Structure 1
Amino acid sequence: MTRPTPDVPRPDPSLPTPSGLVVVDKPVGWTSHDVVARTRRLAGTRKVGHAGTLDPMATGVLVLGVDRATRLLTWVVGRDKTYDATIRLGLTTVTDDAEGEVLDVADPAAVAAVDEDAVAAGVARLTGDLQQVPAKVSAIKVEGRRAYAQVRAGRDVELAARPVTVSEFAVHRIGRGADEAGRPVVDVDVTVTCSSGTYIRALARDLGADLGVGGHLTALRRTRVGAWGLGHASTLEELAAEVAAGRPLPVTSLEDAAAGLFPARRLSAAEAEDVAHGRRTGPSDPAPAAGPPDNDTVTAGFAPDGRLVALLSDRGHRGERTAKPVLVFLPGERFTAPPEDPLGER
């Protein structure tokens, strides 16, 4: 297993600290915290966080926020995600993945009876809006303690079901074989697109339970988080090479990241100054649909010079619709209007 080592190149101290999102292709065997720790050294700042944990056995897209962009991670976490995975039918494990000890082994005849039609029907029943019980070995807190810590201490925990949405559960290949102990298994390669908070390990567990043979996850690769996919990702080695060459850590700028997450709103100098001081300004949509304002709709407010000033939410206030700053990035800043274009354009 490859682990972080201290021989990480340090950034050039003459370069400004980057502020934005970094998409890392997480290697197998690393925790998400390992990746954050390595990126802190490469960026030269402790202000680095991640948007959604990946298990050590998983690989793929891990979105990190650096410096001020850590404040955007709450919204990145909530985006839907896509995974490529392999589900092994025939065995149940304590962790619902290959890292846990085997709890139950299905009868070989029952495993042999699992065919393509049965798998397709089981997958269909796990597609759409679901009430999913999370994997017991998870970071969810039960009575103030992480569930995984209680399970590893030998305690049984009961987790409440929670609503999730699986919008895609596509089967690519079904293969028969045997595990290392010679027990018959069925391996199913799938692609899953789902809402935030969905456990792919739990889907593997539930598919196996539905088919009566048990199941667990043997491979997981996250290929997308919201607008960020593997095409945006860099390996840790590639990031280290950039820093070693004296270049700044490559990031998606704060402004580009916000524009990828929210509708953009160009503010006038006066509006930007109001927002920078925490004051409300006019609504983002001057002609809304009938009914109360949608307080979940957030827009990114940009100053005349293109900098991100704040995230705004249209809300009712004293009988009027206004845009309220919910997160200010340039507090107390003053702005000037751009010069008039001689052709009359701004």
Structure 2
Amino acid sequence: MSRRPSAFSALIAVDKPAGMTSHDVVSRVRRAVGERRVGHAGTLDPAATGVLVVGIGQATKLLGMLTLDRKGYRATISLGAETTTDDAEGEVVASAEVGPELLDAGRAGREVAALVGEHDQVPPAYSAVSVGGRRAYDAARSGEALELAPRRVRVHGADLVAVLPEQRAWVVDLDVSKGTYVRSIARDLGRALGCRAHVGSLRRVFSGPVSLVDCLSLDELEAGGADLVRERCLDPVAVLGLPARELAVTEIADVSCGRRLDARDEAPGRVALTFGGGLAGIWRREGRFLVCETNFPQAIEGVRP
């Protein structure tokens, strides 16, 4: 049976609350806007909050195209204990004393600054990493230990925001590459310092070009529905980071049929074709022509001048 057409198509950013999975957010968005075709990019752990990019209707096709190569977090790193999940949700598996020197802002700031650079990072045992077709978190819940291979990640920026002596914790801002686990950063930092550590709280403050100021709360979405989405949706061309070409009326029929277009001054590579405030397709320059890579039968809303 064919899928019914979407009522509208758009990208939005949601400020995910704590205690929900990213899929829970998708379910709430579906109900709020009355659209079944909804997906998300860049999973957040249930305990984490902050920026979650969500696609509605045809915009779900964009989710796999979004690079979102850098992500920003504000994390509370709790010193003195390592947990099964590397965050506050897990059981303590190792603990150690936290010396007073680690609660000195100068020492803490130097340790945090030293995180900047490339690292080989082993993902947490409770993560969505797949080994032999099995998710690490499924194996961990069954009491099995999967051998997780290290991956190369980069910390672009790391700053100490505050030291919380009574909580034996540091608050830090991190700018990291896609695929970096902040929980692993906390775990490895605690081991290096000899005090053990885990993430006490985590908030994603940006994902690629999308930040908290772009986000809607679920309560706002449920109150405003599709009208609010149309008002506050993301510009899909800006999020993709592509050059744009506004189509002439005479080109619409050719684009709809996937017929190649004469290139203008577009550089080699992808280009976003727009028309009347919507994203009509993503094409690619090959030689003297633009050729179709993906068309959106229902234009994705939100393109701004």
Does the alignment reach a TM-score above 0.5? yes
Deviations 1:91-145 (A, max 9, x none): 1111110101111111x2x533424454334333421233222222111111111
Q: Does 1:69 align with 2:51?
A: no
**Larger gyration radius, structure 1 or structure 2:** 1
Deviations 1:164-208 (A, max 9, x none): 222111111122235xxxxxxx31101111222111111111211
SS of the equivalent of 1:329 reads strand
1:299 partner letter: V
**Aligned equivalent of 1:90:** 80
> Which range moved further: 137-146 or 79-88?
79-88
Deviations 1:195-250 (A, max 9, x none): 2211111111121122122211000111112222221212111111124xxx6352
TM-score by length of 1: 0.76
Q: Does 1:324 align with 2:291?
A: yes
Residues 283 and 314, structure 1, Cα contact 8 Å, conserved in 2: yes
**CA 1:18/1:203 → structure 2, altered by over 3 Å: closer, same or farther?**
same
Any stretches of 5+ residues in structure 1 without a counterpart?
1-15, 179-185, 334-346
**CA 1:32/1:103 → structure 2, altered by over 3 Å: closer, same or farther?**
same
Q: How does 1:2-151 map to 2 (within 5 A)?
A: 17-76=7-66, 78-106=68-96, 108=97, 111-114=99-102, 115-151=104-140
Structure 2 Cα separation of the partners of residues 253 and 220 of structure 1: 25
Number of residue pairs the alignment of both structures matches: 292
Q: Displaced runs of 4+ in structure 1, greater than 6 A?
A: 252-255
The structure 1 residue matched to 2:217, chosen from 199, 222, 235, is 235
The structure 2 residue matched to 1:188, chosen from 170, 178, 202, is 170
Q: Comparing both chains, which one has the higher relative contact order based on Cα–Cα distances under 8 Å and sequence gaps of 6 or more?
A: 2
Q: How does 1:256-335 map to 2 (within 5 A)?
A: 256-261=235-240, 262-269=242-249, 271-283=251-263, 285=265, 297-303=269-275, 305-315=276-286, 320=287, 322-330=289-297
Q: Which one has the bigger strand percentage?
A: 2
**Aligned equivalent of 1:338:** none
Any stretches of 5+ residues in structure 2 without a counterpart?
1-5, 300-305
Deviations 1:11-64 (A, max 9, x none): xxxxx8231022211111111111111111111121000111111111111111
Q: Percent of pairs identical after alignment? A: 42
Structure 2 Cα separation of the partners of residues 277 and 321 of structure 1: 19
The CA deviation at 1:79 is 3.7
Residues 21 and 252, structure 1, Cα contact 8 Å, conserved in 2: no
